Chains A and B, each alone.
Chain A
Amino acid sequence: MTAASQVSAHPSITHPLNVLVATDCGSTTTKAILIEKVGEEYRQTFRGEAPTTVEAPFEDVTRGVLNAIAEIEELSGRKILDGDKILTPNRAAQGDPKRGVDIYISTSSAGGGLQMMVTGVVQNMTGESAQRAALGAGAIVIDVLASNDGRLPHEKIERIRTMRPDMILMSGGTDGGAVTHVVEMAEYIAAAEPRPRFGATYKLPLIYAGNKDAQGQVKSILGEKAALEVTENIRPVLERENLAPARHKIHDLFLEHVMQQAPGYKKLIEMAGAPIMPTPAAVGVIMETIAKREHLNLIGVDIGGATTDVFSVFEGVFNRTVSANLGMSYSVSNVLAEAGLANIMRWLPFAFDEQTLRNRIKNKMIRPTTIPQTLDELQIEQAIAREALRLALIHHKSLATGLKGVQQERTISDVFEQQTSGKTLIDMLKLDLIVGSGGILSHAPRRNQSMLMMVDAYEPIGFTMLSVDSIFMMPHLGVLSTIDEKAATDVFVRDCMVYLGTCVAPIGRGKDGERLADYELTFPDGRVVRDRLKMGELRLFPLGLDQKATITMHPGKHIDLGQGLGVPVTRDVQGGVVGVLLDGRGRPLQLPADQQMRVSVLTRWFQAIDLYPKA
């Protein structure tokens, strides 16, 4: 299943696209960017933003869109708006190239995004498949109900009743298998009479993508109670997932039903030259496009105020998860609740009173738009970000798995290596690139801070490139790639991605100061650095954007760089705005339990790479 395949039929655009304006309507801010064809390539030239206006007193999302575009008008001197209308196409042919744009496109996660409830029969089989289908389509999954989820029938019904999702996806059973359980779930849903989150008068959209033999019964039970759509089974046989048809349906119903209820979206849909996409679905599309184009295994993360989305593409398989309550402002207190105070405090290079830290985190939760003003406040936020990123990846790994419940053929060689089905697809050793996005990563005062936050949270092993999204334009480029892949790719490479550099991290540990590996780093200008990477060391070598160096590592006999214990490795490493980071802190990364020692170790690491200004 690919992310791109979830997008509905591309609109037919007949005129050339030379000037484009795109917006992303987020929960709090609507961000607009202008993309122009400069010579033969597309560049992002101006941007503007304005508060999102889904809520009272405006209750019309297009107000925020027009305000954000008006800011671009001011900055660029281009006439884009004619009252409440966007001038299309561009009037270059009429001799007025500074008037109008060729297309307007948008993504949206305003009003809490697309919230879905999914059902299956067996929780870790069809339940998980349904979850993957919904997540991949850009939804937040608010609950997964399954026949074997441990809840009593009346508890299930009560749960369906109290939740107010935007949409329900029902799955369950393989084609031709037993129908009883899936019909039973349909009966529970019918009894609960679920109501949608927005709008009292319309029926809740419900997609049935389970055993095809139960379609008739599901129709007779739910046909009158919900806006029922039937599509192909997402798990026609145990060994295969078929998520594309369900994702198409989710996307269609999102446009036809859910968005029609949100304030101002009818107008927005009319204004746009291509279907509006849920923001995370658009980010998924662009992540997958990069992975395919560069033949990479990648992990992408978008850490926002309320949620953290994780995307991965491994061996061509796309997965997305959303940790709905891990974020840096609205959900900051939940990071504390889930990670625990000790895990946050372990990243602080100073001692801090527990009660004050708790109060500060709560104060950030109730005033989410504030920013750190002092260095210690910045370090606290970056400590919280490390934990949010770490927890979101753990969540992602648990869902980005092979199919569970699949019978495996075993040969004699498997006697020594018993693997269960449903193993995570996230292999950190095969990971080529980490892409970070979201305010805390994109706007960190120093880029090496973004790099170290991701390295500390993800603990990459072997050789891994890291990058950040410069101004959070991946959603815009995702939707753009569905109508003009070249334009999206041009902007992505030139203006969106900021390569930070490469992290080289040997696997294994030793005593502090012990040899991990001897290395020889040859720079593009012929300069060679030969040295020893010791346990507990962090070293940074500047290596510019678009530059490559060659590194040879001779690891100690208990140390692995991906080729086996003690096996030397030579390979090229990519530079970036930070450079090449040799991480000798050992894997798994462990911090001293003693506070004084931990502060001293962190201070040493942070100083080694000049992470913060001197106090």
Chain B
Amino acid sequence: MAHSYTPGLTVTEQAVIRRRRQLPLPGQVLVQVGDHVQANQPVARAELPGKVYPINLANQLGVAPDEIKEYLVKKEGEAIQSDEILAESKPLIKWLKTEIRSPVTGTVESLSTVTGQVLLREPPRILEVLGYVNGSVVEVQPKQGVTVETTCTLIQGIFGIGGETWGTVILAAKSPGDVLRPDQVTADMEGKIVVGGSFLPAETLTKAKQLGLAGLVVGGIHDKDLRALLGYDLGVAITGTEQVGFTLILTEGFGTIPMAQKTFELLSAHTGEKASISGATQIRAGVIRPEIIIPKQAGAVSGRGAATPQREGIRIGDPVRIIRDPLFGKIGQVSALPSDLQKIPTESEVRVLEVKFPDGQVAVIPRANIEVIEGA
């Protein structure tokens, strides 16, 4: 198989990226092609239909379903306030009257003479989609959304939690191998995107939450700390909707793993700049990786970056990261690509490659266990 390696994560100084900003249901697009938009600017808006509350009037009034119309105080389509009378019985003696009050404010949507149910619907909720990145609108899908393009520094992480946010990039670690200690996270980091090194201990996570950091970018964390942060054991890697107070992006994985030098250097170079980040991760069909997008200022663009670089395969000299034990997290360069299958210690026969590390050591690794560092 020609492509028996894991396509890598993009870590690049300059790329042109496009992000689709879609409404979950038809609505109104607020911008036009060519408009410049800001990350926190609404670009499309829709009305999300309100929640529906069924009430079985026939049961509550003790009448037949096909009789409920006679007892309704509010008719189909009429507005109703919370606790207002929706229907009432008509006994001969007033004291025996039963009143059914609305549990919500909304409208009487429909009624059924088969089941005796009335459906009440709360007012619609306004839903806005924001620009997410500073850039320009290159496409409008009428009633659905827009596509925003930006020239930026792009860093993809391997796993994240939490949704889209933005803030100023600030470096808290001195080197990619540093553990981010609680005392390195300070009050002036509120609302910022803080970059750590190899590991984020539980105590630092707690402090980051207290101080209101917008985002944290680190090499790795322990699974047990993630479990404590979320309050449950994450079974399937589909994330992005967690509400833990900040967005967390891991660049390497679980455990203590130094952040790739290139990633760290790139983030260092952009300290003080505004970035948009998203922790959304989806490993299954339609892979989504967390990302850090640092849009370029108008004067800082050098030529035009590739929109979506497509690789043809792996080559000698490519920088790679080992993504499985026993050398998990190490970074080196491909030094040979033998084509024959080789037997590895498990006795499986697989396609392998040789990786040369900066210290001159060479290791034979299954091709499935490396990741090309894209954008190099």
Contacts and interface: CB of A to CB of B under 8 A. Distances in A.
B49 interface: yes
Contact of B115 (A187, A334, A360): A187
A337 B233 contact: yes
Contacts of B350: 371
Given A57-B308, A157-B52, A331-B236, 14 more contacts: A49-B1, A153-B53, A158-B51, A184-B112, A191-B52, A330-B236, A334-B236, A338-B235, A355-B222, A363-B254, A369-B368, A371-B350, A371-B368, A374-B325
B285 interface: yes
Interface in A320-351: 325, 330-331, 333-334, 336-338
A331 B283 CA distance: 10
A183 B110 CA distance: 14
B125 interface: no
B223 A55 contact: no
Contacts of A78: none
Given A374-B346, A613-B347, A184 B117 contact: yes
B6 interface: yes
A223 to B, nearest CB: 15
A3 B333 CA distance: 51
B244 interface: no
A112 B284 CA distance: 8
A21 B16 CA distance: 41
Contacts of A356: 255
Interface string B226-248: 10000001111100000000000
A365 B287 CA distance: 13
Contacts of A27: 284-285
A193 interface: yes
A335 to B, nearest CB: 8
Interface string B94-116: 00000000000000011010110
A445 interface: yes
Contacts of A360: 254, 325
9 contacts: A111-B285, A112-B285, A153-B53, A191-B110, A192-B52, A336-B233, A356-B255, A360-B325, A374-B345
B54 A191 contact: yes
A549 to B, nearest CB: 28
Given A158-B51, A445-B346, A179 B6 contact: no
Given A179-B114, A330-B237, A374-B326, A367 B366 contact: no
Given A333-B237, A337-B233, A365-B283, A370 B109 contact: no
A368 interface: yes
Contacts of B324: 363, 367, 370-373, 377
A378 interface: yes
Nearest to A372: B346
* 9 nearest A-B residue pairs (beta carbon): A334-B235, A445-B347, A359-B254, A358-B223, A337-B233, A362-B254, A153-B54, A370-B324, A378-B346
B159 interface: yes
Interface of B: 1, 3, 6, 25-26, 49, 51-54, 65, 109-110, 112, 114-115, 117, 119, 121, 144, 158-159, 222-224, 226, 233-237, 253-255, 281, 283-287, 308, 310, 323-326, 328, 344-348, 350, 365-366, 368-369, 371
A257 interface: no
A338 B1 CA distance: 34
A92 interface: no
A193 B346 contact: no
Given A55-B286, A330-B237, A613-B347, A373 B255 contact: no
B174 to A, nearest CB: 25
Interface residues of B, dominant DSSP: loop
Nearest to B235: A334
Contacts of B6: 367, 369-370
Given A187-B54, A330-B237, A365-B237, A373 B365 contact: yes
Among A51, A57, A363, A370, the most chain B Cβ lie within 10 Å of the Cβ of A363
Nearest to B227: A358
B114 A191 contact: no
B205 to A, nearest CB: 16
Nearest to B233: A337
A368 B368 contact: no
A367 B285 contact: no
Contacts of B1: 49-50, 71
A244 interface: no
B54 A370 contact: no
A421 interface: no
A581 to B, nearest CB: 20
A366 B285 contact: no
A336 B227 CA distance: 12
B371 to A, nearest CB: 7
Given A330-B283, A359-B255, A373-B366, A187 B112 contact: yes
A334 B25 CA distance: 31
A187 B119 contact: yes
A371 B223 contact: no
Contact of A373 (B117, B158, B326): B326
A306 B254 CA distance: 20
Contacts of B366: 370-371, 373
A204 to B, nearest CB: 14
Given A184-B115, A370-B369, A374-B326, A51 B346 contact: no
A273 B254 CA distance: 47
A494 B161 CA distance: 49
A338 B371 CA distance: 30
Nearest to B55: A153
A543 to B, nearest CB: 23
A367 to B, nearest CB: 5
A600 interface: no
B223 A361 contact: yes
A110 interface: yes
A338 B236 CA distance: 12
Nearest to A443: B348
